[in-house]
Amino acid sequence: MSIHWDNSFQPDEIKVLSAAFERAWGFIETSGDVGVDVAWCRSCLAAHVMEIARTGDMDPLRLTNEAISRYRQQRALFMAAFGKPADAA
C-alpha cells in the first residue's frame, strides 16, 4: 500500500472520497449517531475518510465502512470518558 505523505489527492481520488463520505454520512444521519453539532460530526467523519485513504485504500465501500466504524469508536470513547457526546464538549 502506498501512503500519501503530501496529504493531497488527485481529482479521481477526491471523487471516491466524496462518494464514500456522502454514503457514510447518510448512514450516520439515518442511524441517529449525529450529535448536537452537525458540522463537527461531519468534519470528524471526513477526517476519518481521508486518514483511511492516506494509507492507499481507495475502495469506496471499505472507506465508507471503516470511516463509520472509526467515527462511532471516537464518539463512544468520548462518551465513556466524559459522559456526554463528543460534539457537546
With pLDDT > 90 as the criterion, what percentage of the chain qualifies?
Answer: 64
Res. 2: pLDDT tops 80: no
Identity at 42, one-letter amino acid code: R
Res. 78: pLDDT tops 50: yes
- Residue ranges of the domains in the chain? 15-88
Q: What is the mean pLDDT of residues 12-35?
A: 94
Q: Which of 18, 61, 69 is nearest to 9 (CA)?
A: 18
Q: What is the mean pLDDT of residues 23-28?
A: 96
Instruction: Measure the CA–CA gap between 32 and 28, rounded to whole angstroms.
Output: 6
Res. 1: pLDDT tops 50: no
Q: Which of 20, 15, 46, 10 is nearest to 74 (CA)?
A: 46
User: pLDDT tens-digit profile of 39-62?
Assistant: 989 999 999 999 999 999 999 999
Cell numbers at residue 39, please?
458540522
